[in-house]
């Protein structure tokens, strides 16, 4: 699902108050990070991810890869943080404009 500008703005506003629930560390994008992200996205729909300084991958690349592997949309990248969004097909919590 491709998000338009208005939807991304809405999700960025919701995500500003979130704390990171997934961290990408020195192992980079490993299977456990992808599994954790998928579980968090299925429960919350919108998650914040932090790429730590010891990660071998640049933050933008790491977040794009994680979004692709978890089946989510990359909403925003600011510094080492990013927002990932995927609607829950059974019980959507976030209503997009």
pLDDT tens digits, 59-70: 999 999 999 999
pLDDT of residue 91: 85
Percent of the chain with pLDDT over 90: 88
Q: Could you tell me if 84 and 73 are in contact, meaning their C-beta atoms sit under 8 angstroms apart?
A: yes
Count of the separate structural domains present in the chain? 1
pLDDT tens digits, 34-61: 999 999 999 999 999 999 999 999 999 9
Rg (CA), the chain: 12
Task: Give the residue from 76, 63, 71 showing the smallest Cα distance to 16.
Answer: 76
In a domain, 92, yes or no: no
pLDDT tens digits, 10-34: 999 999 999 999 999 999 999 999 9
Query: What's the CATH number where 69 sits?
Result: 3.30.110.60
Model pTM?
Answer: 0.93
Q: Give the domain range for residue 81.
A: 5-85
Beta sheet of 73-78, edge-to-edge order: 20-24, 46-51, 81-85, 73-78
């Amino acid at each position: 699902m491709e998000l338009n500008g208005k939807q991304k703005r809405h999700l960025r506003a919701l995500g500003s108050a979130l704390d990171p629930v997934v961290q990408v560390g020195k192992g980079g994008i490993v299977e456990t990070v992808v599994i954790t992200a998928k579980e968090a996205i299925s429960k919350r729909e919108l998650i914040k991810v932090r790429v730590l300084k010891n990660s071998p991958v640049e933050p933008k690349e790491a977040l794009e890869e994680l979004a692709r592997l978890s089946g989510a949309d990359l909403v925003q990248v600011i510094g080492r943080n990013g927002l990932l969004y995927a609607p829950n097909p059974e019980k959507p919590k976030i209503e997009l404009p």
